[in-house]
Copies of this chain bind each other. A is one copy, B any other.
Amino acid sequence: MIGDRWKLLILRDLALKGARRYRDFLEAGEGIATNILASRLIQLEAAGIVNRQQDPENAARTIYSLTPKGVDLVPVLLAMIAWSAQWDPETEVPVRFERALKRNPKALAKEIRDELPKPVGE
């Protein structure tokens, strides 16, 4: 399910970069095509990993968020980031983040979970 470049990047944006809207993903830097983004969001929603909801403040907008099943992927993302930080010189990880990750990954995962925007209506 997750062995797919784009889905992992979408999840990273949701979990760690505060992305919540279609535009956020499109503009996240890696250059996902709009049709691919739409298809991946559908697949992630079908898999119960992300929620799609209308913004109650503006019906023209959609808000995406992680389900509990999606939140539970945070440790996977963190493990990948830890590996990249160590082995891939092109990956830029904030020093503070990298340190927290090495010292106490569980605590960092909890911190991220707590700071996640909640799905509308909770």
Contacts and interface: CB of A to CB of B under 8 A. Distances in A.
A61 interface: no
Contacts of A75: 79, 82-83
Interface stretch (A2-10, A15-23, A31-39, A92-100): A2-10
Contact of A79 (B1, B4, B79, B88): B79
Tier of interface size on chain A: 20 to 34
Specify the main secondary structure of chain A where it touches its partner.
Answer: helix
Interface string A34-51: 000000000000001000
A107 to B, nearest CB: 14
Nearest to A109: B79
A120 interface: no
